[in-house]
Structure formats: structure tokens, C-alpha cells
Chains A and B, each alone.
Chain A
Amino acid sequence: MQFDQILQYTLSGLSTGAIYALIGIGFSIIYNATGIINFAQGEFVMLGGLLTLSCLELLQLPLWAAIPCSVAVATVVGVLFERLAIRPLRQPTPINLVIITIGGSILIRGLAMLVWGKDTHAIPPFSGDDPIAIGGATILPQHLWILAITLIIIVVNKIYFYHTISGKAMRACSYNRRAAGLVGIDVKRMVLFSFIISSAMGAIAGIIVAPLTMTAYDVGVMLGLKGFCAAIIGGMSSGISTVVGGLILGVLESLGAGLISSGYKDAIAFIILLLLLFIRPQGLFGKADSERV
């Protein structure tokens, strides 16, 4: 196997990995604030892509305006989801939460199918599609956009969580919800914030990946699950280890698809997921923490 080919697979793996990382951080933020694994996370990724499509084609908005618009709409859906489904739940046992977020995800997906139909849609790349040569490999400008936007989001995320009052309050919730409530943090508001942030992040991930992979009403399932896999590798952290988890997953998947078999590409992520859950449920980098299991 030539070096060039491996470089090519690694480079394209890194950009898909960045997407997984964004989705994975979305999972972790909600999980840390609420203890919920939001099975509907992938649907926000789908919404991001498809809403941008509508903004571009129906409303004829320029790209720079279409992106914030669709992120805003997806975030509103996230808020509604928290308000209408999660908050009124009378018996928030884990099984009920799993079932209700699955129900929500199916509902959102079904409504998207009603609105956008079953076809696959393409979104134009942000800045042309002339390939750029790096060593013996080539990448598209969109790959660079993905990496850059992911980087920006991670930095903003870090600043929010460590240098603002509400970010610090959210971290307090993730350590101990009751204690956070006792020192005067409005836990319910933090839960709402966590849904806002992660649905917005999911939507952005969906928008930046759409020009590369196309988008359809059902892309959310796979992307969501792989994002979850990235979060598990990262030990459900909303920081750098989930990013590393996403990148590892993206590169392994891309190499596996290229060198072994493209048919089993999707299986790779789930085999990694199962192995990790069996052997190191605390994540690849985490210390043993029996609470998580």
C-alpha cells in the first residue's frame, strides 16, 4: 500500500472525524448537564443541513446568512424538544428517557421526510471545489472549512465553559446537580442551555458536512451514532478528549473503508463502540469511574 493513499485516507478521515467530534461534544454537553443520552442528537445534524438547503434555495439567502438562520431554527427545535418532551416527563427513569428521546428523534425525522421528501440533496461547497494538493494527496477546500470551523467551535466552547459565569455553572451541574442547585444555580435553566448549545453544534456539524456527503432526512441516525461513539472514546467529556476520539474514529473508519472493505465501513465504528463499552466504558483516556457504567 502506497504512502500517498494512506495519507489521502488519513486526511479525509480527519475531516469526517472533526464532524464526529462536534456531534460527540453535543452528546457530552447534554449528558453532563442532565445525565441523558439524547438519541435525537443526530436529527439536529440532519436539520442543520436541510434547513440550510431551504434557506439557500427557497429564501434565496446568501450562504453567510443561511447558516446562522438554519442554526437558529435548529436551536429552536432543540428548545421545543426540551420543553415539550424532556421537562414534562413525570418519571425520568433512564429507560423512559431513552424511549422518549428515541420517540422524539423518529418524530423529527418523520417530519423532515414530510417537509423535504426522501431525496438526497446537495449543498454547494463554501468556496468552490478545486482540489488542493498536499504531498501526494489532495483535499477539497470544504475539508479545510470543516477543520477550521471545528477548531473555532472548540475554542469558543472552551472559553464558554471556563471563563463565563453560565459556563462555570454548567460545569458545576455536571459535577453534582444537587450541590449546584444548593449554591443557587438554576439547574433547569442549565439543562435548557445544554440543549441549546448541543442542538446548535449539531446543526453546524450538519451544515459543514453537507457539501461533502450530501444530505437527506435520514442522515442523522448514522452521524448521531458515530458522534456518540466519539463521545464514548472521549469518556463523555465535552473537551479535547472527545475531539481526539472523533478524529481517531474518523481516521480508522476511512482507513478501514479504503484498505479493508467499504461495505463494512459503518460496522467499524460500532465494533469500536462495543469493544470500548466492554473494556473501557470510562473512555480511552479516563480514569476508572464506576458511576458511568
Chain B
Amino acid sequence: MKRDLLLFACFLLFIMSAPQFFAGGYLMNVLVFVGINTMLAIALNLLLGYAGQISLGHAGFFGMGAYLSGIMTTTYSLNPWIAMPVAAVVVGCLAGLIGLPILKLKGHYLAMATLGLGIILFIVFNETVDLTGGPSGLSGIPNIEFAGIVFDSDVKNYYLIWGVTLVVMLFSLNLASSRIGRALRAVHDSEVAAQVLGVNARILKVQIFALSAVISSLAGSLYAHTMTFISPASFGFNFSIELLTMVVIGGLGSIYGSFLGAALLTLLPEFLRGANDYDIIIYGALLMVMVMYMPGGLVRGFPDLFRKIFKKKAESGHA
């Protein structure tokens, strides 16, 4: 427990000191996105890594959060502080309602159903032009204001987004090591065994699905208020896949892994500027290579690799 707290404190220090080095640069803007993506990756990881339930439609929940927040603050000129929780509650309720039938499905079928859900939401964002502005997007979304400070610069947004992300992280770390976290892992390993031991797997799965959707919605709202412009292109199937890649690369069932995956996949395109459109090839290859050779993700894969090399050396030393 103490070690966990120490690790989190180190991470907090690391995150909070980052602007000292990057402030003013373009990278600051990218780091804001790392924060948003970390939140999303953690949300998906709670579902996929802990409960073992796949979702290929999380970009849809992310988009719903963004659009609900965006529409409430522009068309109905509500305060973002009201719009964000309302959006989160609406998305959570919707996810719970859909989760009831959808989470009865397993494996491939669940993947297809959530994928379908994501695509339906994407089509709705595109087609309800009166509400969302359609393919040309929704602009003029106000920045968040708190105690007289308007969060309108990259540095300010960095602290805002990462503040929330760190809270989400701490909450998820706690959740993962709590009774609920253990129950989730039990469901992951064997639903029948978990149920025999008194875990209500069906309700638990729906709850974690809804929670995951709420976090995604929150990330969406924050995205809308920092970008001030949203369009459906950011919430399509490809983004769901990108989130999946982040979680798998970082490591299923590791909260810090989600940060690692999100950071890597958000920063990677910035370093591969020339290969602008081709980053999708790299995602595909990364997904395949990770699943084949490092199923535990970077967080567990590297220590394992070291151990293997070390072991081999020790063995050859004996011989």
C-alpha cells in the first residue's frame, strides 16, 4: 500500500513538473491530448483489462460526452460545470441500459455488438445536423472557467486535464485493488467460478461498463471545452481501435500501462510527421506484434524480457 502511494506520488510529481520543460512549445498541446487519451485508455482498461469485456465502441461514448457538453453550452448556453456532469449522467444511464443486453454476449459477439453501437453513434453524430452541425462540426464551445480563471491556454488546460486524469487514475487504482477489483478479475478468469463464489457477474459487468462510459464521457466533455471545436471525425471506429491499441500496448489490467500506451500512441504520430496517413499501418502492426509476443503489454513485457535474458545468462554461466 505504501509502495503504491509512493509510486503515485512520484507519478504526480513527474506530471506536474512536465510543463516546466515544455511550456510554450507545441508539445504542450500534445501533452494535453496525452492526458485525455490516458483517461480514455484507463476507462477502456477497467472494462477490458480488469473485467475482460471488450468494447470497440468507446469512441462513441467519448463523442457523446463531447457533443452533449458542446450542445448544452452552445445551443442552450449552459455553464460547462452543469453540462459536464449532466452529460456524464446521461451517458452513464444510456450505457447501463444498453449494457444490460449487450454484456450477456461474450467474446467475438460482444466485440461486434459494441462495434455496431459505436458506428450507430457515429452515424447519429453525422446525420443529426440540426443538433450537432453534422460533418462540418460544432464550433464556439466555451472554455471552462473556474474561480475567475479561464482555461484557454495549453498550460492552463494541461493542469486542468491532468488534474482530472490524476483523480481518475487514483480512483481506478483504488478500485482495482478493492473488493470490486478482485471481483472483476474473478469474472475475467471465470464467470461461472466468480458467480459460484457469490459475485453477481451480470450486474458487475454492467456497472463497470457504465463507469467506463462515464469516464469516457467526462474525457469527451473536457476535450470539447479545451478544443472549443468538435467534429464527428474524431469519434469514429478508427479512434475506438486506437484506444484499444493504447490499452493493449500499455498492458491489459495496468493503470500505469494505460498511461504508457496513451503517451506512446499520442506522441508517436508527432515524431512520424512524414508518415502522416500511414500511422494506421503502424497501429495494426503494433497490435499484432504485441498480442503475439508481448501479451502482457509493455508494463509486464519488459520486466519479463529482462528476466528471460538474465536467466539465460545465469544458466549459461552455470554450464
Contacts and interface: CB of A to CB of B under 8 A. Distances in A.
A264 interface: yes
How extensive is the interface on chain A, given as a class? Answer: 35 or more
Interface stretch (B80-88, B110-118, B213-221, B224-232): B110-118
B241 A293 contact: no
A92 B55 CA distance: 18
Contacts, number: 126
A6 interface: no
Interface string B101-122: 1101111110111011101100
Interface in B267-299: 277-278, 280-281, 283-288, 291-292, 295
Mostly, the B contact residues are: helix
How extensive is the interface on chain B, given as a class? Answer: 35 or more
A293 B112 contact: no
A266 interface: yes
Contacts of B244: 99, 102
Contacts of A113: 277-278, 280-281
B120 A271 contact: yes
B150 to A, nearest CB: 37
Contacts of A293: 104-106, 109
Interface in A245-282: 261, 263-264, 266-267, 270-271, 273-274, 277-278, 281
Given A98-B54, A102-B244, A293-B104, A110 B284 contact: yes
Contacts of A110: 278, 280-281, 284
B120 A270 contact: yes
A264 B108 CA distance: 25
Interface string A88-99: 111100111111
Interface in A108-125: 108-111, 113-114, 118
B127 A99 contact: no
A100 B287 contact: yes
Contacts of A270: 116-117, 119-120
B292 A277 contact: no
A7 interface: no
Interface string B49-66: 000101010000000000
A282 to B, nearest CB: 11
Given A95-B52, A95-B107, A111-B281, A266 B287 contact: no
Nearest to A273: B116
B285 A103 contact: yes
A110 B241 CA distance: 14
A203 B19 CA distance: 52
Q: Which 6 A-B pairs rank lowest in CB-CB distance, beginning with the nearest?
A: A103-B287, A94-B107, A106-B284, A110-B281, A107-B284, A37-B108
28 contacts: A88-B292, A89-B291, A89-B292, A94-B106, A96-B295, A99-B291, A102-B241, A103-B283, A103-B284, A103-B285, A104-B288, A105-B284, A106-B241, A107-B284, A111-B281, A113-B277, A113-B280, A114-B278, A228-B112, A232-B112, A270-B120, A273-B113, A274-B102, A274-B120, A277-B105, A278-B104, A293-B106, A293-B109
